[in-house]
């Protein structure tokens, strides 16, 4: 039977091996077109001085390879240009703005007469805090609206973070008398943590490192909360501080019912009110908004009843039921002294700010 490539009558005689014998000298079409010499047609050879063959230009065979070479060169040039511009770009990298240190002003309010005592309910009912709300419900958020450079959701994030800071630093019982600081610390910009930690570890009345500038704190060895439901009233406001920052200002008054610790006798269970007004200025850059944290720029505190001579940088020093401020005020300030200026400020607590008899 004939093979798949043989004619029906088989391989012709006289051609040993068939076409396989000439396969090595058969040229395909691409080989013929690529030849340097090409034979003229019969009509072309009839002309005078006609040549039998003509030479094909060398570039016709190398057109494809040249295009590849040009493409490689273009890619290399583009890659090199990109690297050069990445290293030698004409724009300066914007400087990273660090958070400013907190500025603290603490003003003790000295009572003009003995501190009234009673049960927390009686004291609140006969004080200006009678209509204050309880706890976090007294820290109301204003309506958030978009600004020129910040969306409504970003404004709401700033307001919510400021409220969280007020709640943790002014209402958390563990912070008020338990010595806890982490609930407040985690809400601060990392650039301010060193100042915060130093204020907690070694408080000082230098306008920068008072622990009570960051949070409300009482000495648990002397004072306890007679009522964990703190009365609160105040406002929150916001505004842009440039294209990359929002500012929130809080102004709240907190009324605490306190009782003495380690005291026996008839007045041991009597409570008294202690009032703290805190005005805080927060700043939020875009990273702060994303990380749910704040930069605390200004802390202005009025707190009483306290004696003017009391050092309230570490803990607030309330005068409790039946106590009165001593006659001696703060020590005199010497303008010729060198070193850190520590001029004392003190106010007089209005009788109307205390519970009526």
Which tens digit of pLDDT belongs to each residue from 319-337?
999 999 876 555 555 555 5
CA dihedral of residues 15, 17, 22, 24 (deg, nearest 10): -170
Mean pLDDT of the chain: 82
Residues near 34 by beta carbon (within 8 Å), at least 6 away in sequence: 61
pLDDT value of position 95: 47
Rounded to an integer, what is the distance from CA 32 to the centroid of its chain?
73
pTM score of the predicted model: 0.71
pLDDT value of position 348: 86
Residue 209 predicted with pLDDT over 50:
yes
Which tens digit of pLDDT belongs to each residue from 144-170?
999 999 999 999 999 999 999 999 999
């Amino acid at each position: 039977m004939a093979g798949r490539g043989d004619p029906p009558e088989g391989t012709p005689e006289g051609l040993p091996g068939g076409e396989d014998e000439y396969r090595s000298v058969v040229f395909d079409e691409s080989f013929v077109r690529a030849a340097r010499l090409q034979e003229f047609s019969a009509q072309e050879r009839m002309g005078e001085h006609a040549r039998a063959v003509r030479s094909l230009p060398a570039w016709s065979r190398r057109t494809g390879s040249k295009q590849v070479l040009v493409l490689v060169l273009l890619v290399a040039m583009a890659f090199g240009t990109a690297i050069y511009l990445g290293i030698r770009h004409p724009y300066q990298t914007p400087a990273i703005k660090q958070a400013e240190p907190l500025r603290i002003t603490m003003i003790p309010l000295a009572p003009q007469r003995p501190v009234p005592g009673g049960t927390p309910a009686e004291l609140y009912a006969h004080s200006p805090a009678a209509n204050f709300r309880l706890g976090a419900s007294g820290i109301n958020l204003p309506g958030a609206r978009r600004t020129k450079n910040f969306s409504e959701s970003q404004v709401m994030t700033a307001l919510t973070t400021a409220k969280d800071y007020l709640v943790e630093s002014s209402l958390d019982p563990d912070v008020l008398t338990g010595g806890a600081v982490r609930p407040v610390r985690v809400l601060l910009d990392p650039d301010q943590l060193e100042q915060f930690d130093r204020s907690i570890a070694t408080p000082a009345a230098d306008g920068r490192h008072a622990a009570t500038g960051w949070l409300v704190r009482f000495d648990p060895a002397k004072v306890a909360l007679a009522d964990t439901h703190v009365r609160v009233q105040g406002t929150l406001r916001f505004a842009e501080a440039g294209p990359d920052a929002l500012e929130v200002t809080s102004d709240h008054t907190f009324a605490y019912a306190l009782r003495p610790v380690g005291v026996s006798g008839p007045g041991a269970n009597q409570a008294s009110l202690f009032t703290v007004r805190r005005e805080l200025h927060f700043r939020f850059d875009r990273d702060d908004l994303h990380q749910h944290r704040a930069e605390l720029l200004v802390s202005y505190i009025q707190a009483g009843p306290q004696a003017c001579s009391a050092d309230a940088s570490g803990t607030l020093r309330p005068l409790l039921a039946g106590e009165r401020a001593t006659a001696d005020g703060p020590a005199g300030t010497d303008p010729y002294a060198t070193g850190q200026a520590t001029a004392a400020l003190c106010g007089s607590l209005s009788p109307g700010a205390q519970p009526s008899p």
